[in-house]
């Protein structure tokens, strides 16, 4: 079966193993083929659920697994077979170095005249004659893996600066977290940061000064009063409110924006009833429906042209800082890679020390 899948169907090894696992699972549980055919299950779900399906739990598990994503299936598997928490650990990773080409020693070059050797040396040292260095290996993505109900294993690579901050935070929080648990430290730090960001963006607070009824919602400016933002965010549950023609609500929670149901440019008020949360894509879509696509394209073009001088100034300031700080003679290292264009280089910083952190949250 594996040889047929890879040699005749030209599937990769991973795809071949996935289909073989699904076929073996369907032999024991034929209902899996029906669910695969009508779209309730995908191959990854079949392969992950197969080791945990029994005659007793099959109907209940497959009912919960229908139309679920791979991440949701992994959470269901973690619930079926929970694993113990992972002990927090921090270990130092080796410093990565650019790969060196291993070539066989070649015969010594013929001895040239002094003048010829000098010209050859000058030609080899021209900026356009420098061969580009080996590209840096991409960083490994962080791993978030469910291991039990409401428990996740998290692995990521941290810098030496973050390791230092974690040690300082562990010392400052000795009274509240005596054992210095890494997961508890990160959870407290993330909770505090979330509280500050949500207070700034959506005006979330435990002690509001005004209620929406006491707030002036006249659209005198683009600023939306804090009580209105707070009430809209609580009502919409921090989620995009767009609903498609089939009644499915958008699940996006990132980059949420306040959308005026009756357009602000048409006199729409900053009231709770007139505002709702929308993700950037649906907010732009509704704006095009309200004002027209051509008008919105002209508006975006005008904003880009208006912001262009600020962008140029920012790039110039960044270039000056790069010149003064990172391009010092003692700062030039093996991670400077020549690029196209006269004198253009791209700096690929490499951390002096890297650490791998893992634990359970």
pLDDT digits (tens, 9 = 90+) for 165-177: 999 999 999 999 9
Q: Is 311 within the bounds of a domain?
A: yes
Is 150 among the domain residues?
A: no
The single-letter DSSP state of residue 126 is S
Residue 63 lies in a domain: yes
Q: What is the mean pLDDT of residues 144-156?
A: 88
| Residues 265, 316 share a domain | no
| Band of residue 139 on the pLDDT scale cut at 50, 70, 90 | low
Considering 292, 310, 337, which residue would you say is the last residue of a domain?
292
The predicted model gives 84-113 an average pLDDT of 64
Phi and psi angles of residue 307, each rounded to the nearest 5 degrees, phi first: -90, -5
CB 120 within 8 Å of CB 111: no
Please check whether residues 18 and 69 belong to one and the same domain.
Answer: yes
Say if CB 136 and CB 350 are below 8 A apart.
Answer: yes
As a whole number, mean pLDDT of residues 12-41 equals 91
Q: Is residue 51 scored above 80 in pLDDT?
A: yes
Q: Are residues 261 and 238 in the same domain?
A: yes
Domain boundary among 39, 62, 80: 80
Phi, psi of 175 (to 5 degrees): -70, -35
Q: What mean pLDDT, rounded, does the chain reach? A: 79
In a domain, 12, yes or no: yes
Q: Are 254 and 307 contained in the same domain?
A: no
Residue 96 lies in a domain: no
Domain count, the chain: 3
Beta-carbon-side half-sphere exposure of residue 239 (alpha carbons within 13 Å): 10
Residue 15 has pLDDT above 60, yes or no: yes
Domain that holds residue 341: 295-347
339 domain-assigned: yes
- Summarize the confidence of residues 321-346 as an average pLDDT: 41
Q: How far apart are the first and last CA of the chain?
A: 41
Residue 128 lies in a domain: no
Mean pLDDT, rounded, for 25-46: 92
Residue 204 domain flag: no
Other C-beta atoms lying within 10 Å of the C-beta of residue 180: 15
Three-class SS state of 356: strand
Q: Which of 263, 292, 321 is at the close of a domain? A: 292
71 and 52, same domain (yes or no)? yes
- Name which of 212, 208, 250, 255 is nearest 232 in CA terms: 212
């Amino acid at each position: 079966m594996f040889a047929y899948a890879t040699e005749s169907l030209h599937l990769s090894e991973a795809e071949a193993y996935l289909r073989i696992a699904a076929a073996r699972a369907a032999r024991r549980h034929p209902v899996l083929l029906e669910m695969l055919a009508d779209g309730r299950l995908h191959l990854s779900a079949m392969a992950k659920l197969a080791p945990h399906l029994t005659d007793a739990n099959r109907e209940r598990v497959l009912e919960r697994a229908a139309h679920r994503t791979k991440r949701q299936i992994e959470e269901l598997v973690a619930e079926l077979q929970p694993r113990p928490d992972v002990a927090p650990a921090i270990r130092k990773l080796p410093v990565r170095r650019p790969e060196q080409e291993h070539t066989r020693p070649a015969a010594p070059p013929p001895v040239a005249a002094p003048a010829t050797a000098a010209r050859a040396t000058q030609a080899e040292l021209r900026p356009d004659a420098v061969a580009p260095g080996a590209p840096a290996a991409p960083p490994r993505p962080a791993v978030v893996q469910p291991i039990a109900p409401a428990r996740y294993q998290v692995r990521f690579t941290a810098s030496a600066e973050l390791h230092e901050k974690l040690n300082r935070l562990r010392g400052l929080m000795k009274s509240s977290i005596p054992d210095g648990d890494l997961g508890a430290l990160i959870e407290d730090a993330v909770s505090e940061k979330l509280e500050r960001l949500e207070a700034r963006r959506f005006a979330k607070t435990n002690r509001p000064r005004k209620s929406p009824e006491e707030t002036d919602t006249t659209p005198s400016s683009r600023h939306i009063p804090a009580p209105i933002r707070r009430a809209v965010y609580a009502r919409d549950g921090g989620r995009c409110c767009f609903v498609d023609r089939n009644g499915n609500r958008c699940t996006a929670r990132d980059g949420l924006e306040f959308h005026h149901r009756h357009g602000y440019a048409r006199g729409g008020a900053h009231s709770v009833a007139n505002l709702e949360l929308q993700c950037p894509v649906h907010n732009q879509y509704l704006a095009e429906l309200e004002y027209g696509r051509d008008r919105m394209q002209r508006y975006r073009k005008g904003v880009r042209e208006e912001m262009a001088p600020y962008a140029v100034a920012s790039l110039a300031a960044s270039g000056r800082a790069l010149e003064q700080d990172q391009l010092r003679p003692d700062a030039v290292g093996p991670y400077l890679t020549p690029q196209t264009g006269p004198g253009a280089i791209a700096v690929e910083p490499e951390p002096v020390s890297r650490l791998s952190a893992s634990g359970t949250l």
